[in-house]
Amino acid sequence: MNSTIRQIRDALRENIDEKTQKNFQRFFKEEVKYYGVKTIVVRKIANHFWKEIKACEKRDIYDLCEQLLISDYSEEAYIISYWLPKMTRQFEPEDWEIFKNWIDQYINNWAKCDSFCNHTMGNFLERFPRFIEELKEWTRLKNRWMRRAAAVSLIVPAKKGHFLKDVFEIADRLLLDEDDLVQKGYGWLLKVTSHTHQEEVFDYVMRNKHHMPRTALRYAIEKMPQSLREKAMKRTLSP
């Protein structure tokens, strides 16, 4: 597996794009570690090496994933986010603690959080929905990325119309969160939920709009008709 790691890193270095490298940091408030490789190229590299490792034992693939996460390079984290959803049928309940620990220890920006949680965690929760109750507890943690993960891990299931009650409960728990990246996370979750449950999400926003941070509110109503957006954005006038 060490040779695979070396080959992956060599491939990433060989595909550094000057413009991507120059602009990468501007998408983040915190300092991030990166090569500067275009997303489409990272995907191609991930798919190339997946063909080489997909027959390996699951525990060996997980070890390889953790080594890539430990490096802290953004593109290496993105690679495992392409790999793990391909292993959905191999997911087991015991993987919950592994994935939770990876998010807690290695996820340190919104892009890593979203790329890992949207499909890996989303697929896991569709297979084992009983873990949604534990997901809700992440909303109480100090780690901002765990709190964001509590919302964005349901993005893909919510697009399919699943887990409506749980979506609103997570939004309730994060409603007054002061972190803008957490606000954007649950606002995004409400937005994708509105694709299949527009009336319910609109009603939720209207009930909470005087408390909901404007950032979350704007995200939640972004795809609604203009007439609904205007109603949601209208604040009660002071006497």
Buried b (16+ CB within 10 A) or exposed e, 122-147: bbbbbeeeebbeebbebbeeeebbbb
Contact 78, 116 (CB under 8 A): no
Q: What type of residue sits at position 39?
A: T
Note the pLDDT of residue 234.
86
Residue 33 and residue 74 in contact, taking contact as beta carbons nearer than 8 Å: yes
Whether 171 contacts 155, CB under 8 Å = no
pTM of the model as a whole: 0.94
Residues forming a β-bridge with 33: 73
Residue 187: predicted pLDDT: 98
pLDDT-based confidence at 2, cuts 50/70/90?
A: confident
The domains found in the chain, sorted by start residue, are 1-90 (no CATH), 108-239 (1.25.10.90)
Cβ(217)–Cβ(232) below 8 Å: yes
Q: How confident is the model at residue 64 (pLDDT cuts 50, 70, 90)?
A: very high
Q: What whole-number distance in Å separates Cα of residue 223 and Cα of residue 212?
A: 18
pLDDT tens per residue across span 66-113: 999 999 999 999 999 999 999 999 999 999 999 999 999 999 999 999
AA identity, residue 229: R
pLDDT surpasses 70 at 239: no
- Give the tens place of pLDDT for each residue, 130-167: 999 999 999 999 999 999 999 999 999 999 999 999 99
